[in-house]
Structure 1
């Protein structure tokens, strides 16, 4: 990190490795605990193990990075020449990651601005990229924070899930509603709203729900210049097909990324998840 303002995020941004490298963004990993196994969130191994654990109804939890890990990250950035750090993280509604970063920032050798973006997945990743691009252009610490916050304010994220059961287990909906949804073969569409994943619509079949997801994303994108990310959990073919359809439908598409989510989202949604993030430039 040779530039003056360094950008730090966490593994729930699911930024491609090449994007992290191109912009010099540091990603601090969360930990996924599957039974007695602890794995780094956001890796192919942890995604496969997560899907299997959820299918077998095994315990799945996540653990935030410790303040000490963040402190070491901030020290390394300062030693590499950074005079300020922007540390951008997933919604505090999902994890204590933001709080851990705040604690570490108190003892950093250089100023650290810790931001709860209210986002997760590439909705967070696009915020980190905007902050990094601003820093690369010579922007100040405040400029980079403002760029990330502006991107967060315009970004939308939508998710399709195969079943309401995982939302029920996570306390997102009541048991009666989940059972009724299963009996009626209801397929939920969710959205990221106020830092939480909330129910947006209920559609009667999987094919109609995925078609509706595509429609929502295309409408949200409009004709503006946008970046889109398609996410999935144990559904790579479904994700690839949606990505190709969106490539054809969105005239202002700039970048399109496809990636698998980790436990922070996956534990609430289950295998079969299909999601899309729309982020205007």
Structure 2
């Protein structure tokens, strides 16, 4: 048997990738029109990010416990490493820590300090170690070593969704006067959503995001994921710009942001997640 990796649906990993890397996934939740929808399991309205009363919640305690128990059994006792969305953005991490106590040291919970494919990249790093035969300590170490190599940037078209959801964190002080801005946001080392640059237009904000990613990657190889909220053209343009700017990258994928993150970011948002080579 081997160590098994668990993550949550914020990771934006496709079902084929989950199968390829033997990663188990626990759904986050979307609450809309009186319904509790499981992200990645139940169909959410295509315009859920436009609905002012739509909210989100973290992974359910029972789902985490059940998934950990099954993964631990399937590992033959080798253990489980659970990689979850930033604790600064969701209750999922704290709920996961509580759920893992039932299993003692056999289930290790890692705060990815990131979101979207950033979570997926960290989970994949752990899964690669697990599939190579590494033990529980080494798989957990692989996940934790991937965190500082993983960076995320976001440009939103409007601030109302962030204001409504309360996820703006340390950037809240400028929300009241920044309605004309198209800010470049980032997740800091603690996984909090903060202001990276104050920018006046979407075009300049996207250009600044390309430059910030290029600064981080340098001459190294890297994996990049582009996410969007109902903005396929913008995501494709960002992909073309990054491919031109960084021809040495290992891979570049484009995927929607998913309903949970879309509710907080709003229509038009573009996000870039990059993980540099070890």
TM-score by length of 1: 0.89
Q: Does 1:7 align with 2:44?
A: no
User: Unpaired runs of 5+ in structure 1?
Assistant: none
What is the CA-CA distance between 1:44 and the residue it aligns to? 9.3
Displacement after TM superposition at 1:179 (Å): 4.8
CA RMSD of aligned residues (A): 2.1
Residue in structure 2 matched with residue 181 of structure 1 by the alignment: 178
CA separation of 1:47/1:16 partners in 2, compared to 1, >3 Å: closer, same or farther? farther
Provide the residue aligned with 1:277 in structure 2. Answer: 273
* TM-score, with structure 2 as normaliser: 0.90
Matches within 5 A, 1:240-251: 240-251=236-247
Match 2:55 to one of 52, 61, 81: 61
State how far apart, in whole Å, the 2-side matches of 1:174 and 1:8 are.
Answer: 32
Pair 1:66–1:165, CA change in 2 (3 A): closer
- Shift, 1:99, TM fit: 2.1
1:74 aligns with 2:68: yes
In structure 2, C-alpha distance between the alignment counterparts of 1:74 and 1:178, rounded to whole Å: 39
Give the count of matched residue pairs. Answer: 272
Alpha-carbon contact 1:46-1:262 (below 8 Å) kept: no
Any unmatched runs of 5+ in structure 2? none
Per-residue deviation, residues 53-80 of structure 1 (Å, max 9, x unmatched): 2xxxx21221222222122112222332
TM-superposed deviation, 1:227: 0.3
Q: Could you tell me whether the CA contact under 8 Å between 1:50 and 1:262 is conserved in 2?
A: no
> Residues of 1 paired with 2:76 and 2:108: CA distance?
13
Q: Is the 8 A contact 1:160 1:190 kept in 2?
A: yes
User: Is the CA contact 1:123–1:155 (under 8 Å) kept in the aligned structure 2?
Assistant: yes
Aligned counterpart, 1:138: 133
Encode CA deviations 1:191-244: one digit per residue, 9 max, x unaligned: 001211111111111111111112211222222010001011111111122112
Residues 50, 263 of structure 2: 8 Å contact kept: no
2:194 — aligned with what? 198
Pick one of 1, 14, 20 that aligns with 1:22.
Answer: 20
